[in-house]
Amino acid sequence: MFIPVGFEQKSIVTSHGRMVYYTADKAPWKTDISSTDDLPTLVFFHGFGGGSSAYEWSKVYPAFAAEYQILAPDLIGWGRSEHPARDYKVDDYITTFIEFLEQTCQPPTRVIASSLTAAMIVRVASTRPDLFKSLILTTPAGLSDFGENYTRSFLAQLVSTPILDRLIYSGGVATTGGIRSFLENRQFASPNLVYDEIVQAYLESAIQPNAEYAALSFVRGDLCFDLSLYMSQLTIPTAIMWGQKSEFTGPEIGQRLADLNPQAVQIFQTLDNVGLTPQLEVPAVTIGLIKKFLKQLDEVPAAVV
């Protein structure tokens, strides 16, 4: 699996298994005369989907390694982290997010997160605001927002059938063709920006032993919820980026979510001709915006939220 230059793999133990993360702990970031230990922490959480992992942020987080101590974990059930054979629920991930931040960070911490994971982070930040300094979220959607029920969708119903669900995963998801098709047709707005390294990184994660458990829990809708029920509880200064061509949830939903709590959501930025993961599709733009948003959010007076 691709690891950027100067980064290495470490891990912690959570209540649901060992959780791998990547951090800058080698040259050129850490040398005999320089260290990342005293830098503020910046955490990157990846989203969910067949083959997801911390690779999703690997074109972005090295740009911040000179100024921050970077932590980019593979979530439980994904990437190189442990893959318990279980049906995953939202609370499983909320628990491991808290455990990861408690074990690796000196709070409050700046956190960046993607898609359904970003929606879960809103819930974590609402219950444990002491852990967070600011949030930057790309396409944070619970996928059942404003009363929609994702579990009624055709795909969710299809993969709820025992045996058939494993066949769909092994034959239609965890293959080179399946990964490439999904990235080109559902995740990216511009299919020509999907290149071989991205496909191979997603495939390597997707074919890990027991990788189907977390992926199928996601596709069945076991991890979906209505984020609109939690937005008003958020008190952490937040910026949101939303790909204008996000296939699953459009920016109109994102704006409605942001409007529920303008005190916390300081910035809402749509990106034209971008899909679900701007961090992979337009990494340079994403880096520039994150740099801008970090500065703006750091300047938000505590009294505002």
**pLDDT digit string, tens, across residues 178-193:** 999 999 999 999 999 9
Q: May I ask the CATH architecture of the domain 7-304?
A: 3-Layer(aba) Sandwich (3.40)
Q: State the CB neighbour count (10 A cutoff) for residue 295.
A: 9
Q: Average pLDDT, stretch 103-112?
A: 96
Mean pLDDT across the chain: 93
Band of pLDDT at residue 248, cut at 50, 70 and 90: confident
* pLDDT given at position 301: 75
Helices 196-206, 211-220: inter-axial angle, 10-degree rounding: 100
* pLDDT given at position 33: 64
Q: What percent of the chain has pLDDT over 90?
A: 82
Q: Per the structure block, which two tokens stand in for 74? A: 């593979």
Residue 255's φ and ψ, nearest 5 degrees, are -65, -40
Q: Average pLDDT, stretch 89-116?
A: 97
Selection from 159, 156, 95, 85 nearest residue 124 by Cα? 95
* pLDDT given at position 170: 86
* pLDDT given at position 30: 84
Q: Is the dihedral of CA 265, 268, 274, 280 positive or negative?
A: negative
Q: Average pLDDT, stretch 82-98?
A: 97
Q: What is the Cα gyration radius of the chain?
A: 18
**HSE-up of residue 236 (Cα within 13 Å, Cβ side):** 28
- Residue 243 clears pLDDT 60, i.e. is over it: yes
Pairwise pLDDT comparison (161 vs 114), residue with the higher score: 114
Band of pLDDT at residue 294, cut at 50, 70 and 90: very high
- Residue 109 clears pLDDT 50, i.e. is over it: yes
Band of pLDDT at residue 35, cut at 50, 70 and 90: low
- Global confidence as pTM: 0.95
Tally: H helices and E strands in the chain: 10, 8
pLDDT-wise least confident of 22-26, 235-239, 261-265: 22-26
Residue 229's φ and ψ, nearest 5 degrees, are -75, -15
**HSE-up of residue 59 (Cα within 13 Å, Cβ side):** 15
How deeply is 129 buried, as exposed, middle or buried, from its count of CB atoms within 10 A (0-12, 13-18, 19+)?
A: middle
* pLDDT given at position 303: 46
Q: Per the structure block, which two tokens stand in for 226? A: 């209505």
State the Cα–Cα distance between residues 207 and 198, nearest whole angstrom: 15
pLDDT in tens, 270-290: 999 999 999 999 999 999 999
Q: Average pLDDT, stretch 29-58?
A: 89
Cβ atoms of 6 and 24 within 8 Å: the answer is: yes
Band of pLDDT at residue 1, cut at 50, 70 and 90: low
Reduced to 3 states, what is the DSSP secondary structure of residue 9?
A: strand
